[in-house]
With several copies, the nearest count.
Chain A
Amino acid sequence: MKKIINDPTTVVQEALAGLAAAHADLLKVSYDPMFIARADAPISGQVALVSGGGSGHEPLHGGFVGAGMLAAACPGAIFTSPTPDQVIAAAQAVDGGAGVLLIVKNYTGDVLNFETAAELAEAEGISVATVVVDDDVAVKDSTWTAGRRGVGGTVLLEKIAGAAAARGDDLDSVAAIATRVNDQVRSMGMALTPCTVPHSGEPSFTLADDEMEMGVGIHGEPGRERMKLTSADEIVATLLDSIVEDLPFQSGDKTLLFVNGMGGTPLVELYLAYNSARKYLAERGIEVSRSLVGNYITSLEMQGCSITLLKLDDEFTQLWDAPVHTAALRWGV
């Protein structure tokens, strides 16, 4: 295992200390229990978005804490969901009296821990709503699975719901918008290489030099299918076929196209994949009116990419364009 770390057991704490030092103007970090909160929280009268999940997906979620996006993020150990006490402490720290929206990626661990937290927070008198993100079309949503995973759509949802909260919407409205984003967004990812969790030291799976993992998760879980490595155009087509047919996206739809890197894939490949995706969508009359390209929801050093497509309406577009000031996403300020 080759990593720039000191001790596998303190990776998350040390990285958080770095985040806090680099962005002292934006956020503050609590170490026990562990959470990242807006420096200016609580914002009185404003709905507070609290998300979280396993670490190793940076910049998600801590890099999205700030004006116009998350009020707080609760990082678990690498690839392990946070514990309820983190979520409760974060909710208490950022609740401005207008309530807290918990944004949970649909993994059993995250769901169960946030569920427990929600019960306890309610008991503390905080009004809580929860939205579970499950946009990964690689997983068939059926009685045969724990349901779709929350992946790239989470980034877009946190931005759009965050803008709704910043604009002053109440808890129900912010939750409704978040739910609507989740309804309108679909994603799928693939990996060229596995990743290695520091405390385990072993790659999460093994791939031959000519293999790729299609429909991979963001925790180094193997994906839907192992395939021979092929061209960018074919990879993008495989991902978009599943995404487009699922919603379905149709000719004339306005969309936000998000090409995300898994952490170890260079930008040049992501823009190349984005170009390939644009051609695919243009052939089907699907319009791309907003875009995001980069490493935003990652799996440590895994090489690969995911594509997320969100069907836009005027409100989503306005909220996407609204100012945001976080470590990883910033515009309009």
Chain B
Amino acid sequence: MTCTADSVVAAIRAVAQVVIEHKAELSHLDREIGDGDHGENLAKGFTAVVAKLDTTSTPTPGAVLKLVATTLISTVGGASGPLFGTAFLRAATSCGDAQTLDADQVVVALKAAVDGVVARGKAEIGDKTMVDALIPAAEAARSAADAGGSIADVLTAAANGAESGAASAIPLRARKGRASYLGERSMGHADPGATSVTYLLQSLAVGAAGTAAAAVES
């Protein structure tokens, strides 16, 4: 089964809710090794996204992702604004005008998003940034798709990849972003951005699984 513009919209709304729920926690993580605004930044951005979705018609998955991208870029600020924005923008481009996406297209879009973040932020894996969660996520998604997995399988794999990637970054010393100013003092703390992208992918996975289940029932 494939995913439509409407299910992408539903997925984004779910993501927005999850981000807002974890706002305080994400800002707390950012206070530990940053400037304490990551939760507010994303909550502000996704609140704006939801408002935009309510008032804008988005015929294709790509159109939805493009709207998310431009809204995040113009509302978030901070490092995560352009990074999340670029991710959604690249994903949108990779979707083109497709009316629906299958598992493979989802993986390709995810890979494009990750490449976009790397291109913008120039972070490598091990720098203790969201990239440490994103790259394993894209790889896990790829293998799940190659093994014939559904969209739900692919996104679940991605979420798990992100989670373990984020976890493995905890002991590391940050080399990019604000946390890098702390040098060794950044070690032992979870990276806010790696954590937020993990929540984002987990929300997508749960949503996709739900849709799939619903589809089976019907």
* Complex A–B touching at CB under 8 A: yes
Q: Contact residues of A with B, CB < 8 Å?
A: 33, 54, 76-85, 107-109, 112-113, 115-116, 138-140, 143-146, 149, 197, 199-200, 202, 204-205, 217, 219-224
Between B34, B76, B77, B82, the greatest number of chain A beta carbons within 10 A of the residue's beta carbon is seen for B77
Contact A149–B74 (Cβ < 8 Å)? no
Q: Is B22 an interface residue (CB 8 A)?
A: no
**Hey, which chain B residues are within 8 Å of A85, CB to CB?**
73-74
Q: For chain B residues 110-157, which have a beta carbon within 8 Å of chain A?
A: 120-121
In the assembly, what is the distance between CA of A204 and CA of B31, in Å? 6
In the assembly, what is the distance between CA of A249 and CA of B43, in Å? 45
**Hey, which chain B residues are within 8 Å of A223, CB to CB?**
181
Contact B76–A83 (Cβ < 8 Å)? yes
Contact B34–A221 (Cβ < 8 Å)? yes
Question: With A108-B121, A113-B82, A202-B31 given, is the CB distance from A149 to B181 under 8 Å?
Answer: yes
**Hey, which chain B residues are within 8 Å of A202, CB to CB?**
28, 31, 36
Nearest 6 CB-CB pairs, A to B?
A112-B82, A109-B79, A145-B180, A219-B35, A108-B79, A109-B78
* Interface SS of chain B: helix
**Hey, which chain A residues are within 8 Å of B31, CB to CB?**
200, 202, 204-205
**Hey, which chain A residues are within 8 Å of B44, CB to CB?**
77
Q: How far, in Å, is A129 (CB) from chain B's closest CB?
A: 20
Q: How far, in Å, is A104 (CB) from chain B's closest CB?
A: 13
Q: How far, in Å, is A216 (CB) from chain B's closest CB?
A: 10
Contact A221–B181 (Cβ < 8 Å)? yes
Q: A116-B82, A217-B181 are in contact. List 7 more A-B contacts (CB 8 A).
A: A77-B41, A79-B35, A80-B35, A145-B181, A145-B183, A146-B180, A197-B37
Q: Contact residues of B with A, CB < 8 Å?
A: 27-28, 31, 34-37, 40-41, 44, 73-83, 85, 120-121, 173, 175-178, 180-183, 185
A200: contacting residue among B36, B120, B183, CB under 8 A: B36
A146: contacting residue among B37, B85, B181, CB under 8 A: B181
Contact A200–B37 (Cβ < 8 Å)? yes
Contact A200–B27 (Cβ < 8 Å)? yes
**Hey, which chain A residues are within 8 Å of B81, CB to CB?**
81, 83, 109, 112-113
Report how many A-B pairs have Cβ atoms within 8 Å.
Answer: 117
In the assembly, what is the distance between CA of A108 and CA of B79, in Å? 6
Contact B77–A82 (Cβ < 8 Å)? yes
A112: contacting residue among B34, B37, B83, B182, CB under 8 A: B83
Q: How far, in Å, is A45 (CB) from chain B's closest CB?
A: 31
**Hey, which chain B residues are within 8 Å of A149, CB to CB?**
181
Contact A204–B35 (Cβ < 8 Å)? yes
B74: contacting residue among A83, A139, A204, A224, CB under 8 A: A83
Contact B181–A108 (Cβ < 8 Å)? no
Question: With A116-B82, A144-B173, A200-B31 given, is the CB distance from A222 to B37 under 8 Å?
Answer: no
In the assembly, what is the distance between CA of A232 and CA of B28, in Å? 27
Q: How far, in Å, is B175 (CB) from chain A's closest CB?
A: 5
In the assembly, what is the distance between CA of A204 and CA of B76, in Å? 20
For this complex, 26 residue pairs linking A to B, each with C-beta atoms less than 8 Å apart, are: A33-B74, A54-B77, A78-B37, A79-B35, A80-B40, A81-B79, A81-B81, A82-B77, A84-B73, A109-B77, A109-B80, A112-B81, A113-B77, A115-B120, A144-B180, A144-B183, A145-B183, A146-B176, A146-B178, A199-B37, A200-B31, A204-B31, A219-B35, A221-B35, A221-B181, A221-B182
